[in-house]
């Protein structure tokens, strides 16, 4: 199953692969070189398919838990001052996505979308300290009774050139449901209340819509 954001790219890539196979077969006489080029082209196509896959996730909805918005590795767990929306201290948990991770962004909690904004910006590497404030990004805040307000931020990386955000202010957000997509590598920052009980560790691998990031007591 592939994400709708990848349908056009997959189709274009398939056409390029078919044409490339035809050209390679007709123009390259050296057998080992012909096979090597075909394997390379096929590998590229498989990489595109891998990137845009959208596997079903077994989300167990729980008002007292915040789930990981994306697949990847936890690279930041710290108390920070959130400047854009809260303008106070929050617990930040950041998940870095490599190009081979699933890049679907999912709502970490259920509730009402209180804020949704796109910010144009730079394309610093996703782990750069200033990426959260200077890169292209979108910020979404979802509110419910258990957590109050939770903010998550999609951040473009050096390879990511387009962020897709489906969250609209005033709409209902369902925990684990698609809320966007980031094309070709990046990270997501999650900002939680200071009294949230963090359930992950640095360098831990997490799955979007399944892994519990934090709980409210």
Helices (H), the chain: 7-27, 31-51, 131-134
* Sheet order of strands, 162-165 included: 104-106, 178-183, 162-165
With vertex at residue 43, the alpha carbon angle to CA 39 and CA 49, rounded to the nearest 5 degrees, is 150
CA distance 105 to 161: 16
Question: What residues act catalytically?
Answer: 186
- Would you say 141 and 149 are in contact if contact means Cβ atoms under 8 Å apart? yes
């Amino acid at each position: 199953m592939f994400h709708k954001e990848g349908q056009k790219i997959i189709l274009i890539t398939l056409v390029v692969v078919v044409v490339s196979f035809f050209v390679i077969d007709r123009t390259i006489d050296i057998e080992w070189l012909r096979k090597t080029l075909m394997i390379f082209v096929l590998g590229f196509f498989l990489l595109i398919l891998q990137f845009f896959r959208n596997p079903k996730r077994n989300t167990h909805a729980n008002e007292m838990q915040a789930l990981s918005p994306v697949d990847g590795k936890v690279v930041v767990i710290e108390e920070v001052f959130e400047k854009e929306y809260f303008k106070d201290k929050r617990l930040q948990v950041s998940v870095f996505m490599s190009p081979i991770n699933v890049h679907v962004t999912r709502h970490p909690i259920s509730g009402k979308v209180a804020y949704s904004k796109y910010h144009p910006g730079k394309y610093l590497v996703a782990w750069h300290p200033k990426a959260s404030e200077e890169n292209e990004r979108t910020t979404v805040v979802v509110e419910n009774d258990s957590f109050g307000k939770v903010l998550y931020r999609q951040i473009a990386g050096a390879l990511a050139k387009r962020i897709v955000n489906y969250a609209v202010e005033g709409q209902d957000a369902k925990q684990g449901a698609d809320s966007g997509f980031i094309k070709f590598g990046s990270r997501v920052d999650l900002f939680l209340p200071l009294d949230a009980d963090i359930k992950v560790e640095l360098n831990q691998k997490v799955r979007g819509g399944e892994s519990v990031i934090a709980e409210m007591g």
